[in-house]
């Protein structure tokens, strides 16, 4: 990783580094650790600073609440920031990547401490957000999805309680990764418990498949009815299970249709549909974090044509427009905050993969 772009990405992460946690952007409040971006930052650090990568995740999980929930924002100045809100457990997926990258001998002692914390968090999702055992966890605020300006809540009935599809896809991938991690520390009871979570969510996600639209849909947790316009979250079940690319060819065909209408992969909403806005996050604008998640699923599904497009577009748009939070999928213009840690981390991850 010696290119000018990867060197710049490292500089962004180092510039946002507060010692034990990373700011999401260069202009973010100095005491704010945002769950989602923190996990991405850990993966970025992993390419050049192993200890710092682990510290990022350890700091995040040190903020775990007594009931097992990990907040979506940790305020390291003593303030309380919406402690009832969380994010999808991307930390579980990040820890598996760190474990596999650095090996059993170096990683297992950390895993002995972190894996039980992760299991408690996953138990919290089941108990607090899916008490009926449907297999889908509800979010109670759009911010919990990680897609703060998402249209998912536009058609939702109060009280807000939505089984957001992208959130649950990440949760299912995290369930699978947690099973692997528990197996690595020989927690047989934990493995059996997570197996039951995986089975429930597998069936529940499949029930969200819309054959006519060729996409997975979010659900109202109370009624089970589909809600919201199709968005990038509808493709994220590929991140949980790459076999879906073969089972539902309409899914990747739909993604190809979206890409045919965009200059930069991947728009967060379908171009041309009512409400599409290329300059608004999650209503059209590109996020490299979600590009990475889709790339991961498509790579494991063997769709090199699509992964090459996503990787090349991601690297090119950052080279052109800088380390912004979002990008216009039509013009490539950078949007949102500058010095975005998640974007820098994605660049470093993509840089390790050849076409």
Return the active site residues: 148, 325
List residues bridging with 226 in a β-sheet.
219
Instruction: Give the Cα separation of 239 and 173 in Å (integer).
Output: 7
The separation between CA 200 and the C-alpha centre of its own chain, rounded to angstroms, equals 21
Q: With contact defined as beta carbons under 8 Å apart, do 208 and 199 qualify? A: no
Whose CA is closest to 59, among 16, 89, 91? 91
* CA–CA distance, 259 with 117 (Å, rounded to integer): 39
Kindly report each contact of residues 4-11 with a partner whose C-beta sits within 8 Å and lies 24 or more positions away, as own/partner. 5/315, 5/318, 5/319, 5/347, 5/351, 6/347, 6/348, 6/351, 8/323, 8/344, 9/44, 9/318, 9/323, 9/344, 9/345, 9/347, 9/348, 9/351, 10/48, 10/344, 10/348
Residues 6+ apart with CB under 8 A from 14: none
Q: At what angle do helices 50-62 and 35-45 cross, to 10 degrees?
A: 160
Torsional sign, CA 72, 78, 82, 85:
positive
- The percent helix, strand, coil of the chain (3-state, each to 5) is 55, 10, 35
**CB neighbour list of residue 249: distance below 8 Å, 6 or more residues apart:** none
Using an 8 Å Cβ cutoff, are 162 and 218 in contact? yes
CA dihedral sign, ordered 207, 211, 217, 222: negative
């Amino acid at each position: 990783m010696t290119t000018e772009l990867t060197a710049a990405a490292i500089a962004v992460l180092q510039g946002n580094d507060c010692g034990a946690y990373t700011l999401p952007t260069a202009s973010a409040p100095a005491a704010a650790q945002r769950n989602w971006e923190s996990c991405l930052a850990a993966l970025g650090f992993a390419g050049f600073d192993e200890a710092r990568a682990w510290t990022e995740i350890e700091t995040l999980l040190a903020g775990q609440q007594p009931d097992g929930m990990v907040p979506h924002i940790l305020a390291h100045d003593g303030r309380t920031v919406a402690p009832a809100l969380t994010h999808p457990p991307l930390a579980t997926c990040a820890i598996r990547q760190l474990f596999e990258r650095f090996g059993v001998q170096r990683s297992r002692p950390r895993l002995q401490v972190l894996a039980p914390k992760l299991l408690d968090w996953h138990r919290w999702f089941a108990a607090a957000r899916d008490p009926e055992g449907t297999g889908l966890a509800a979010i109670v605020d759009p911010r919990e999805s990680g897609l703060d300006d998402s249209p998912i809540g536009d058609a939702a009935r109060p009280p807000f309680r939505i089984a957001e599809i992208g959130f649950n896809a990440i949760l299912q991938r995290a369930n699978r990764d947690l099973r692997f991690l528990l197996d690595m520390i020989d927690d047989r009871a934990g493995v059996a418990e997570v197996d039951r979570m995986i089975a429930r969510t597998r069936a529940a996600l499949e029930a969200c498949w819309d054959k006519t639209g060729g996409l997975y849909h979010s659900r109202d947790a109370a009624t089970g009815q589909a809600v919201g316009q199709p968005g990038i979250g509808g493709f994220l079940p590929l991140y949980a299970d790459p076999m879906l690319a073969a089972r539902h060819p309409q899914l990747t065909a739909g993604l190809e249709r979206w890409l045919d209408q965009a200059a930069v992969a991947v728009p967060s909403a379908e171009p041309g549909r009512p409400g599409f806005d290329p300059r608004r996050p999650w209503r059209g604008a590109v996020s490299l974090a979600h590009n990475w998640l889709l790339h991961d699923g498509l790579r494991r599904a063997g769709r090199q044509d699509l992964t090459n497009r996503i990787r090349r577009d991601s690297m090119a748009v950052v080279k052109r427009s800088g380390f912004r939070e979002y990008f216009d999928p039509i013009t490539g213009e950078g949007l949102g905050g500058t010095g975005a840690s998640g974007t820098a981390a994605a660049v470093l991850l993509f840089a390790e993969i050849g076409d």
